[in-house]
Amino acid sequence: MLFKLIGTTTFLMAIAAGGLWGWLGFTAVVLLVGLASSAYIIETRGKITVPELTIGVIYHKKGEKFDRFLEPGTHWMNPHKESLGAYISTAGQSAKGHTKSIQAIGGLSLDAEWTLAYTLRPQKIAVAKRPKLARALPTKASAIARQQIGNILH
C-alpha cells in the first residue's frame, strides 16, 4: 500500500513538474525520488549491526545458500542479494548430560553426569563445514555438544 502511494505521488509530481518545466522537470523529479528511495532502502535494509558476543550469519537470498559470517560491529550488505539469517552467540555456554552404562577398562559399568562449558568461535570452522554448521549452531549448539560428549564417553 505504501509503495503504491509513493509511486502515485511521484508520478503526479513528475507530471506537474513536466507541465511546468518540460521533460527536464519530469526527469529531475523521477531521478530525485528514485535516489531518495534507494538511499532509504539501503540505509534501512543494507546496514546491519551485529551485537557484541555474537556472530551474524549471512545468506544469499537466491537459494538461501550460506555466504559468510559477520563479526560484531556495523556492516553493509546488498539487501537485494543477501539477508541476515541468524546470530550465533559467542558468549560462554554450557551443556549438561547423563551418560549411562559406560564400560570401564575392568568391565565395570558406570553412569556419569557431566557438565561442559564451552565458547563457540564460528570463524575457526573449516570452510567446507561452514554451510551446514551455520544453520545448526544458532539453535542447536547445546545439542551438538551433548551428542559429541556422548560419542566420546561411549
Q: Does the CA dihedral 119-139-131-64 come out positive or negative?
A: negative
Number of domains in the chain: 2
Q: Are 36 and 56 found together in one domain?
A: no
The rounded average pLDDT for each run of 10 residues, N- to C-terminus, in the chain (154 residues) is: 74 80 82 84 84 95 91 90 92 88 82 90 93 92 86 77
Q: Are 9 and 80 found together in one domain?
A: no
pLDDT at 132: 92
pTM for the structure as a whole? 0.69
3-state secondary structure the chain: CHHHHHHHHHHHHHHHHHHHHCHHHHHHHHHHHHHHHHHHHHHHHCEEEECCCEEEEEEECCCCCEEEEECCEEEECCCCCEEEEEEEECCCEEEEEEEEEEECCCCCEEEEEEEEEECCCHHHCCHHHHHHHHHHHHHHHHHHHHHHHHHHHC
pLDDT at 117: 93
Please give the residue range of the domain that contains residue 114.
50-154
Provide the residue type at 132 as one letter: K
Q: Are 61 and 127 found together in one domain?
A: yes
Q: Are 123 and 149 found together in one domain?
A: yes
Q: Are 114 and 57 found together in one domain?
A: yes
pLDDT at 130: 93
Q: Are 97 and 138 found together in one domain?
A: yes
pLDDT at 134: 92
Q: Are 118 and 150 found together in one domain?
A: yes
Q: Are 127 and 61 found together in one domain?
A: yes
Q: Are 20 and 84 found together in one domain?
A: no
Contact 34, 49 (CB under 8 A): no
